[in-house]
Amino acid sequence: MSDLTRLTLAEARDGLSARKFSAVELNQSFIDAVARANSLNVYLVETPEKALAQAKASDERIARGEAGPLEGIPLGVKDLYATEGVQTTAASHILEGFIPQYESTVTANLWRDGATMLGKLNLDEFAMGSSNETSYFGPAISPWRRQGADGKVSDAKIVPGGSSGGSAAAVAARLCLGATATDTGGSIRQPAAFTGTVGIKPTYGRCSRFGIVAFASSLDQAGPIARTVRDTAILLRSMAGHDPKDTTSVDAPVPDYEKSVGASVKGKVIGIPKEYRLDGLSAEIAALWDRGVEWLKAAGAEIREISLPHTRHALPAYYIVAPAEASSNLARYDGVRYGLRKTGKDIVDLYELTRAEGFGKEVRRRIMIGTYVLSAGYYDAYYLRAQKIRTLIKRDFDLAYQAGVDAILTPATPSPAFALGEKGSADPVEMYLNDVFTVTVNMAGLPGLVVPGGLSSDGLPLGLQLIGRPFEEETLFALGQAIEEAAPKIGLPEAWWA
Amino acid sequence: MNTHANSSKLIPGATGEWEVVIGLEIHAQVTSHSKLFSGASTEFGGAPNSHVSLVDAAMPGMLPVINEECVRQAIRTGLALKAQINHRSVFDRKNYFYPDLPQGYQISQYKHPIVGEGVVLVDLSPTEQIKVGIERLHLEQDAGKSLHDLGANDSHVDLNRSGVALMEIVSKPDMRSADEAKAYVTKLRTILRYVGTCDGNMEQGSLRADVNVSVRKPGAPFGTRCEIKNVNSIRFIGQAIDVEARRQIGILEDGGTIDQETRLYDPNKGETRSMRSKEEAHDYRYFPDPDLLPLEFDQAYVDELAQHLPELPDEKKARFISQYGLSPYDAGVLVLERASADYFEAAAKGRDAKLVANWVINELFGRLNKEGKSVEASPVSAAQIGGIVDLIASNVISGKLAKDLFEIVWLEGGDPAQIVEARGMKQVTDTGAIEAAVDEIIVRNPDKVEQAKAKPTMLGWFVGQVMKATGGKANPQAVNDLLKAKLGL
């Protein structure tokens, strides 16, 4: 049998329904691959028994002709999603050993549709980071490596991006057919771009946040990372939907997103925001963006330059709003009811010792920033102004869409992936700048899709981002497919780790 | 508005008279089956931590979902307080660390409460009424309970109350004496019980008050206030105000200044103690809760609730005065509890309402108070008390016998008319029989007859003798008339 891990999710699904292989065989292939990939540090918890038990049940349902849309498909789950009976840590020491008695709505939807779970995937601690280096359990490593013009491969370990670094790396390294991820400021899209995978952050409210460890509630959104636009569309259909347990989830029917994969994009109006052409944008990224424009034009789309004038305020405003919400969301990790507890002489001592030891440096930094900007006397100057900027950013997009723009094309990241320790160690802002093209989408609550556009000069993937109208993910899948078809195939990284 | 110049409310001091200014924040537990943002039960008295959902325990990834019943109750309360109902309100997070606050923040309403300004009419006496302004009413979560006395070195937390819905009802600083404050809380509790939005049970903590007290010379600007936290009985509210006002006056008259601070009232020592100063006050870092959308509803929703609101105490009192001809005092007493008013109306139907009111207020309420029973638990039903009143009105029994009859009904139950029949308690109105008895007594007591002629108050002795002779069943009026005629008085 050929290597089943090389299949796309859609191919595996079709193979299963054609009985070319069983769900147990498919899952076993991935379990074996995961077992050989420890050096990537992608999985925090492996659940092979669970995957095989689910796969066995899937084979029975397939035999009975009762297969669900994701029957037997092995997935990885970002360790921010609560999984019943399986440790859920948010990659934080403070939640080490925490085993929820409940399942997140999104993963429950996936299991309802027949998917199987290979394990829990690494991430930046509490989803705070752009490189997976803030994980308490060590960084996840990208399967990609730099390659010089001479073809020589560098040994430098490359980050998979973050915060959904484990999800993106697992998909790229063929350690699952798809993965759940979350995106607060770019945490799905930046890792997807860094690993040559496809990721979509859906419209805010499209997926339930119930059972997902909260980072910044008004920005957090669940979404999938997978190898192709089609695979991503298939996963999102199962993940999305209204949930009475999350009042910010939207009660609107979930379309069959796969149907829009391959739909014509003729006549679609694509906005090119001039403000995204930052000073100092690398020539490589600028060229990628230009090629993206050409590919969509060739597919029949109409290109239009647009203005999103408040773009430059988005990143600073994001780094006020997100830490503010995080400082409050993370207050529950106090050592009283679950997770790490460090006892002291009194309750205040317990709080301080537990939280000082339980949270990593970046999480502590953001809690402090958030606490500061919400404090009396600073609230108006920081939080309130940031919220006003947020309104203006949203209005920028609204005006563009009202003027007839169907979607907006931008680079996904200002650079290709970097090596471990290369960025942000001296100045955290250097790391925060990774989110410059992605945070606007969260601030405005819009859907954003990232697709690979090619390789950088040193052989690392580069991604393009498509930003859509609210709840018009279908347009993004159609356009994303057009780019996927036109872009040079970047292939899969060689399994140097196995 | 207030009769604030009323000097009887002023407190004398060494430097002249002082006026106390009081505002109250009442925390009223919303009557609902489940908590404000979770499905856990709100029942009182469960085993510790038996009414706790994953949301109440603030497990990772849990989200609050608003309980519509609590929203309806808040709106209904707002309507009963004649207050502005805000069609859009916002839930905020009030951030602080405490073991009985699992989320690390309380979900409350800060800048945009569900209910705005309203007013409560408070009767101080049958002739004196004040208006107390309502500043706002907002919904918020209750905290859990910390228990420090279960172990030597550890504390325990009971989260049963964590997340239970509270209405915080904030008054304007419109009260000028402890009596006014007590009357306001009593009236507010009556209103809440009428609309069924809070059981008003202070012993169980369903109603607690934070009392803001300041003093000033009459006509001067407001003084610096102190907040006395969590006072849990109406009596203590009154005591705390008096004690705190005297404390503040003492400081000011000694040339000191009042520090704005939070204090606690100790009923055992009869004093208030500092809890934390303004400098130590928490910075709560309020911000809109991003897990909850703004709470929005339309006027039709409010109208629907208004339509089904029961008659409120003020309206009921006015109706009792006009419809039944009751005195303002009697009407006021009867409407204090909805159950009492309902009882009265059931008993008064088709009867002399004033007589019924007398019997309900004097006999029934007197007896209920003595036994510590509520009107709902009264052994004498409205139909029974109506039956007793019927027997008085139709002259079947005398007022005195009626009291005996009430006692029998209270203790043994039964139909009053049948009891009177079976026990021969019927009043004798047959003048022939009464006359015979009168004649016999006159004949047997010639000396007393002589005395009575000189001293007409002796008549009472004769009446007593006749009543005794007739077993108390003679119509007292008839006995009186006959005796007067025969004795020539």
Measured between alpha carbons, how far is residue B360 from residues A153, B186, B332, B402 in Å?
98, 21, 13, 13
Mean pLDDT along residues A297-318: 97
Closest chain B residue to A98 measured between Cα atoms?
B60
| Cβ within 8 Å, pair A379-B285 | yes
Residues of A in contact with B37 (CB under 8 A): none
What tens digit of pLDDT does each residue of B242-266 get? 999 999 999 999 999 999 999 999 9
Judging contacts by C-beta atoms under 8 Å, the chain B residues touching residue A374 are: 95, 285-287
- Name the closest residue on chain B to residue A95, using Cα atoms: B60
**What confidence score (pLDDT) does residue B432 get?**
76
Check if the beta carbon of residue B307 is closer than 8 Å to that of residue B75: no
Closest by alpha carbon to A214, among A120, A95, A110?
A: A95
Q: Indicate the domain borders of chain A.
A: 4-268+406-497
What positions of A carry a catalytic annotation?
A: 78, 163, 187
Q: CB contact, 8 Å: A375 with chain B?
A: yes
Task: Give, in degrees to the nearest 5, the angle at Cα A183 between A182 and A186.
Answer: 145
Residue of A247, A332, A348 lying closest to B293 (CB–CB): A247
What are B's interface residues with A at a Cβ cutoff of 8 A? Answer: 54, 57-66, 93, 95, 97, 99, 102-105, 155, 157, 283, 285-287, 290-293
| Percent of chain A with pLDDT strictly greater than 70 | 100
A64 and chain B: CB distance < 8 Å anywhere?
Answer: no
- How far is the C-alpha of A216 from the C-alpha of A366, rounded, in Å? 11
Nearest to B104 among A332, A338, A379 (CB): A332
| Res. A279: pLDDT tops 70 | yes
| DSSP line for B454-485 | H-GGGHHHHHHHHHHHTTT-B-HHHHHHHHHH
Shortest Cα–Cα distance, A212 to chain B (Å): 4
The set of residues, in sequence order, having a beta carbon less than 8 Å from that of B172 and lying 6+ positions away, is B23, B132, B133, B134, B135
Q: What is the DSSP letter of B363?
A: I
pLDDT at site B438 = 84
Interface contact B60-A375, CB threshold 8 A: no
Q: Average the pLDDT over B108-120 and give the result.
A: 97
Q: Would you call A102 an interface residue with chain B, using a CB distance cutoff of 8 Å?
A: yes
Phi and psi based region of residue A449 (left: phi greater than 0; alpha: psi -120 to 50; beta: remaining): beta
Res. A1: pLDDT tops 70:
no
pLDDT of residue A59: 98
Q: Using one digit for the tens of pLDDT, what is the confidence trace for B14-44?
A: 999 999 999 999 999 999 999 999 999 998 8
Q: pLDDT band at B2, cuts 50/70/90?
A: very low
Question: What would the mean pLDDT of A214-231 be, rounded to a whole number?
Answer: 98
> Judging by beta carbons within 10 Å of its beta carbon (0-12, 13-18, 19+), is residue B118 exposed, middle or buried?
buried
Closest Cβ–Cβ partner in B64, B97, B99 for A331: B97
DSSP B439-458: HHHHHH-HHHHHHHHH-GGG
* Paired strand residues for B211: B24, B228
Q: Is the pLDDT of residue B1 over 60?
A: no
**Beta pairing partners, A238:** none
Cα B401 from chain centre: 33
Collect all residues of chain A within an 8 Å Cβ-Cβ radius of residue B291: 214, 217, 247-248
CA–CA dist B222, B21 (Å, integer): 8
Q: Are strands B271-277 and B261-266 parallel, antiparallel or unpaired?
A: antiparallel
Helix (H, G, I), strand (E, B) or coil at B65: coil
Please return the burial class of A438, using the count of CB atoms within 10 Å of its CB with bins 0-12, 13-18 and 19+: buried
Which pLDDT score is estimated for B446? 85
Judge contact between B161 and B145, C-beta under 8 A: yes
Task: Band the pLDDT of B6: cuts 50, 70, 90.
Answer: low
Higher pLDDT pick, B282 / B413: B413
B259 is written with which tokens? 């520090």
Q: Where does the pLDDT of residue A20 fall: very low under 50, low under 70, confident under 90, or very high at 90 and above? A: very high
Q: Mean pLDDT, to the nearest integer, of B143-169?
A: 91
Q: Is the predicted pLDDT of residue A254 greater than 50, yes or no?
A: yes
For B246, the 3-state DSSP assignment is helix
Mean pLDDT of chain B: 92
- Which residue's entry shows tokens 């105490």? B313
Interface test with A, best of B56, B108, B287, B293 (most A CBs within 10 A): B287
What's the pLDDT score for residue B7? 56
Rg value, chain A, Cα: 21
- Alpha carbon B202 to its chain centroid, in Å, reads 11
Output the pLDDT for position B3.
Answer: 44
Residues of B in contact with A210 (CB under 8 A): 61-63
In a mutagenesis test of the A interface, which of B105, B146, B291 is the best target, namely the one with the most A β-carbons within 10 Å?
A: B291
Q: Which residues of B touch A328 (CB under 8 A)?
A: 93, 95, 104-105, 285, 287
C-beta atoms of B157 and A328 within 8 A: no
pLDDT at B447 over 90: no
pLDDT tens, residue by residue, B457-474: 888 888 888 888 887 777
Which residue bears the tokens 């003595």? B370
Would you state the pLDDT for residue B126?
75
Say what percent of chain B tops pLDDT 90: 75
Sign for the pseudo-dihedral over CA of A353, A355, A359, A362 = negative
Residues of B in contact with A81 (CB under 8 A): 61
Residue among A210, A328, A338 minimizing CB distance to B61: A210
Instruction: Assess whether pLDDT exceeds 60 at residue B56.
Output: yes
Interval B387-411 mean pLDDT:
89
- The overall average pLDDT reported for chain A is 96
Q: Which residue of A has its CA nearest to B102?
A: A332
Chain B, nearest residue to A105 by Cα: B61
**Beta pairing class for B295-296 and B287-288:** unpaired
| Chain B residues lying within 8 Å of A211, measured CB to CB | 61-62
Residue B278: the pLDDT is: 75
Which of A77, A104, A204, A337 would you mutate first to test chain B, the one with the most B CBs within 10 A? A337
Query: Do A247 and B292 count as a contact with CB atoms less than 8 A apart?
Result: yes
Mean pLDDT of the A49-55 span: 98
Confidence of residue B486 (pLDDT cuts 50, 70, 90): confident
Tens digits of per-residue pLDDT, A327-363? 999 999 999 999 999 999 999 999 999 999 999 999 9
Residue B404 near residue B392, CB atoms below 8 Å: no
Q: CA of B143, closest CA in chain A: separation in Å?
A: 14
Q: Does A223 touch chain B (CB under 8 A)?
A: no
Which residue out of A89, A106, A334, A391 would a mutagenesis test of the B interface target, given it has the greatest number of B Cβ atoms within 10 Å? A334
Three-point CA angle A249, A470, A256, nearest 5°: 75
Residue B5 has pLDDT above 50, yes or no: no
Which residues from chain B sit within 8 angstroms of residue A388, using beta carbons? none
- SS3 for B57? coil
- The answer to whether A246 and A210 are in contact (CB under 8 A) is yes
**Contact residues on chain B for A82, CB-CB shorter than 8 A:** 59-61
Nearest CA in chain B to A218: B290
The helix (run of H) or strand (run of E) holding residue B274 is strand B271-277
Architecture of domain A4-268+406-497: Alpha-Beta Complex (3.90)
**Chain centre to alpha carbon of residue B245:** 25
The pLDDT tens digits for B353-398 are 999 999 999 999 999 999 999 999 999 999 999 999 999 988 888 7
CA B306 to chain centre: 23
Distances (CA, A) of A83 to A101, A104, A475, B48: 8, 6, 32, 27
**Strand partners of residue B399:** none
CA A318 to chain centre: 17
Checking if the pLDDT of B4 tops 50, the result is no
Two structure tokens written together for B126? 């049958």
